[in-house]
C-alpha cells in the first residue's frame, strides 16, 4: 500500500512539473497549440495503459460513446483552460481555483445523478466558495481571463468525473484514457488550422517536458491505483500545491500575500474533506484504475 501512495506523490509531482513547463512558455504559443502537442505526446503512455485483452481501436471505440464524447469534449476545454490559467496566474492561485473540482463534483452529483448530499458536504461546498472569495477578493483586486479559465478547468474536470462514474463499470482503462487524450488532440488540431505557429527549438523542449511528463504522470497514477486503493491515492493530488508554491517562488518569482494563503488553505481543506466524504458515501471509484 505504501508503494501505491508513494507512486501517487510521484505522479502528481510529475503533473506539477508538466504544468511548470507549460507556464515557462509564457504564452508564446497559442494555448490550443500547446494542448495539441501535449496530447500528441500523451499518446506515448498508451502502450503502458493498454493491458490484457484491450485492443488499440478501443482507444476511440466505447461501449457508451455518448459519455466518451462528453469526456473528450470536457478534456479538450479543460486542458486549454488550464494552459491559459497557468500562463496568466501564479501557479498556486491557479491550482487553488482548479482544486474547486471536488466541490463542483458534489454540486453536479445532486443535479445530474440525483445523489443525496448531507449537510457536511454542503458545508464544504460553502467553505470552498468562501475560500474563493478570500483568494479573489472581488472589488479589491483585478480579475482576469486566468481566473475564469481556472474555474472553467475545474468545472469541466467535474463534468468529466461525473461521466467517468457512469462509464467505469462498462469501459476498459484504455478507453477511459483515450477520451482524455484523443478529445484534446482532435479539437485543438482543428483550432490550429487557421493560426499555426511553428515552435522554436526552445519551445519544442518546453513542449516535450509538458507532454512527456504528463504522460509519465498518467502511467505512474495507473501503477499507484494498482498497488493501493484509489481512496488512498487520490488525496496525494493536493501535494501539487506544495510544488506550485515552490515553482512559483523559484522559477516565476510569485509572491502570495496572507489573505491569498488563507483562501488557498480554506479551498484545500474543503476539497480534501469533500474527497474523504466522497469515498465514504459514493464508493464507485474504488473500482476505478484511473483516478
The pLDDT score that the predictor gives to residue 181 is 96
The pLDDT score that the predictor gives to residue 254 is 87
Dist. CA 19–CA 24, nearest whole Å: 9
First-to-last C-alpha distance (Å) of the chain: 16
The pLDDT score that the predictor gives to residue 278 is 63
The pLDDT score that the predictor gives to residue 281 is 58
Give residue-wise pLDDT tens across range 243-268. Answer: 998 999 899 998 888 888 898 889 88
54-63, 84-93, 103-112, range with greatest mean pLDDT: 84-93
The three-class DSSP label of residue 127 is: helix
Average pLDDT, the chain: 87
The pLDDT score that the predictor gives to residue 79 is 97
Q: Grid coordinates representing 132?
A: 474563493
The pLDDT score that the predictor gives to residue 140 is 64
The pLDDT score that the predictor gives to residue 287 is 44
Average pLDDT on 119-144 reads 81
Q: Is the pLDDT of residue 89 over 90?
A: yes
The three-class DSSP label of residue 138 is: strand
Decide: 89 and 150 in contact? Cβ < 8 Å.
yes
The pLDDT score that the predictor gives to residue 190 is 95
The pLDDT score that the predictor gives to residue 143 is 83
Mean pLDDT is lowest, of 92-101, 137-146, 249-258, for: 137-146
Dist. CA 75–CA 252, nearest whole Å: 27
Dist. CA 215–CA 268, nearest whole Å: 25
Decide: 146 and 89 in contact? Cβ < 8 Å.
yes
Average pLDDT on 178-201 reads 94
Q: Which of the four pLDDT bands, split at 50, 70 and 90, describes residue 275?
A: confident
Average pLDDT on 173-197 reads 93
Mean pLDDT is lowest, of 40-44, 63-67, 74-78, for: 63-67
Q: Is the pLDDT of residue 109 over 80?
A: yes
The pLDDT score that the predictor gives to residue 289 is 44
| Alpha-carbon 35 to chain mean position | 13
Q: Is the pLDDT of residue 226 over 90?
A: no
Q: Grid coordinates representing 68?
A: 466518451
Dist. CA 170–CA 87, nearest whole Å: 37
Q: Is the pLDDT of residue 290 over 50?
A: no
Amino acid at each position: 500500500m505504501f508503494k501505491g501512495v508513494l507512486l501517487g506523490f510521484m505522479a502528481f509531482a510529475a503533473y506539477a512539473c508538466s504544468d511548470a513547463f507549460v507556464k515557462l512558455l509564457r504564452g508564446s504559443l497559442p494555448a490550443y497549440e500547446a494542448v495539441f502537442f501535449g496530447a500528441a505526446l500523451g499518446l506515448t503512455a498508451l502502450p503502458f495503459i493498454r493491458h490484457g485483452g484491450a485492443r488499440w481501436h478501443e482507444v476511440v471505440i466505447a461501449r457508451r460513446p455518448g459519455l466518451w464524447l462528453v469526456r473528450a469534449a470536457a478534456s479538450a476545454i479543460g486542458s486549454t483552460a488550464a494552459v491559459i490559467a497557468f500562463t496568466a496566474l501564479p501557479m498556486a492561485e491557479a491550482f487553488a481555483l482548479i482544486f474547486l473540482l471536488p466541490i463542483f463534483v458534489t454540486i453536479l452529483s445532486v443535479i445530474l445523478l440525483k445523489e443525496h448530499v448531507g449537510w457536511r458536504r454542503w458545508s464544504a461546498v460553502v467553505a470552498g466558495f468562501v475560500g474563493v472569495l478570500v483568494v479573489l477578493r472581488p472589488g479589491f483586486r483585478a480579475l482576469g481571463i486566468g481566473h475564469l479559465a481556472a474555474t472553467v478547468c475545474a468545472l469541466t474536470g467535474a463534468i468529466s468525473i461525473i461521466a467517468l462514474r457512469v462509464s467505469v463499470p462498462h469501459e476498459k482503462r484504455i478507453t477511459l484514457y483515450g477520451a482524455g487524450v484523443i478529445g484534446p488532440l482532435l479539437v485543438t488540431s482543428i483550432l490550429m488550422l487557421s493560426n499555426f505557429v511553428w515552435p522554436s527549438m526552445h519551445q519544442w523542449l518546453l513542449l516535450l517536458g509538458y507532454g512527456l511528463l504528463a504522460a509519465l504522470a498518467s502511467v505512474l497514477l495507473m501503477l499507484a491505483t494498482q498497488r493501493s486503493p484509489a481512496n488512498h491515492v487520490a488525496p496525494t493530488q493536493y501535494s501539487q500545491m506544495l510544488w506550485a508554491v515552490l515553482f512559483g517562488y523559484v522559477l516565476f518569482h510569485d509572491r502570495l500575500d496572507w489573505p491569498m494563503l488563507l483562501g488557498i488553505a480554506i479551498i484545500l481543506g474543503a476539497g480534501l474533506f469533500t474527497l474523504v466524504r466522497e469515498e465514504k458515501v459514493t464508493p464507485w471509484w474504488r473500482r476505478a484504475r484511473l483516478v
